[in-house]
Amino acid sequence: MKAMVLNAAGSPLVEESRPDPAPAPGELRIKVEACAICRTDLHVVDGELPDLQCPRVPGHEVVGRVDLVGSDIASGLIGRRVGLGWLGHTCGHCPYCHALRENLCDTPEFTGYTRDGGFATHVIAEAAYVFPLDEFPDPVAAAPLMCAGLIGWRSLRSAGAARRIGLYGFGAAAHILTQICRWQGREVYAFTRPGDESAQAHALSLGACWAGSSEEKPPVPLDAALIFAPVGALVPLALSAVVKGGRVVCGGIHMSDIPGFGYDLLWHERELVSVANLTRADGREFLSIAQLAGIRTKTTIYPLERANEALSDLRAGRLQGAAVLVP
């Protein structure tokens, strides 16, 4: 197999040839058709997440075909298209797992972070943590759903029944959520980097009611705001944009420090919450919704060996939608 390998945090990925991996009991091997790139991959590669063990193969938005299974896994899975996301393993016995909150498991494993991921021709996964994608004919289009879509969906659920939704950071997750919100009959207000007119135009083309700079006030108060950009300074801005009783949801795994702000921004029962990881139930629910809503992802394809270029383009904000690696 071939893989793009991170040998040290902050260094470029290196293309390596490795022996084809073999699945253990309970596991299966996926021949990768496509792997989308998520901002979390940037946090991994740049060393912004704790306890990273190198060498590591990043990538956690994987779509491919099962081509080998462990001794206790049904051989009928071979040839089936499946998806693999961020959550790669949970213990099943900690208080959070018992409470059906496996996203908060005390000893989890994460694809592309604590176990090797999909920036490769093949990846090993626990069979219980893959999603069937038989109804998704295009692996490139489906790949961004495996994290941008999943974590976006969990973030949107945290917003409750809010009708006017602000999306701060208009990348892969926001372009999927805009379509879901419009399908649900909600209003979307998109906030981008200052001067990013192409992202604003993209948001409007997907049905956003308004698009502007993150430094601007929306034309109407928001019922909820979802923050996907890893910029702590957006938190007080979002709090100032929501109505009394409104909620601000931080949907990322990493964020720069949040600056101090006056209690008046939080008063009147405004809420500030974070979203951590996801559950397999989130995944099943979202993938069903994605089909009903007719989600169309915007993608830019890169060959696997150009993973460093794709990461640089994402880091610099040169992408609309999602970058997808294809072996």
- Whole-angstrom distance, CA of residue 187 vs CA of residue 165: 6
Structural domains of the chain ordered from first start:
2-146+297-326 (3.90.180.10), 150-274 (3.40.50.720)
* pLDDT attached to residue 61: 98
* pLDDT attached to residue 5: 98
Q: Phi/psi of residue 58, each to 5°?
A: -70, 180
Low-confidence stretches of the chain (pLDDT < 70) are none
* pLDDT attached to residue 138: 98
Question: pLDDT tens for residues 216-246?
Answer: 999 999 999 999 999 999 999 999 999 999 9
Task: Strands of the chain (E only): list them.
Answer: 2-5, 14-17, 27-37, 61-69, 81-84, 87-89, 109-110, 122-126, 130-132, 164-168, 187-192, 210-213, 222-227, 242-250, 271-274, 299-303, 322-326
* pLDDT attached to residue 2: 98
**Is residue 32 within 8 Å of residue 327, measured between CB atoms?**
yes
- Whole-angstrom distance, CA of residue 35 vs CA of residue 135: 18
Long-range CB contacts (< 8 A, 24+ apart) of 205-212? 206/175, 206/178, 206/179, 206/182, 207/178, 207/179, 207/182, 208/167, 208/178, 211/170
Q: State which H helix or E strand residue 141 sits in.
A: helix 139-142
* pLDDT attached to residue 141: 98
Identify the burial level of 88 via C-beta atoms within 10 angstroms of its C-beta, where 0-12 means exposed, 13-18 middle and 19 or more buried. Answer: buried
Question: pLDDT tens for residues 165-183?
Answer: 999 999 999 999 999 999 9
Question: pLDDT tens for residues 42-62?
Answer: 999 999 999 999 999 999 999
Strand 164-168 relative to strand 222-227, pairing: parallel
- Whole-angstrom distance, CA of residue 163 vs CA of residue 154: 16
- Whole-angstrom distance, CA of residue 258 vs CA of residue 60: 27
CA distance readout (Å), 84 to 137, 287, 327: 16, 12, 16
Model pTM score? 0.94
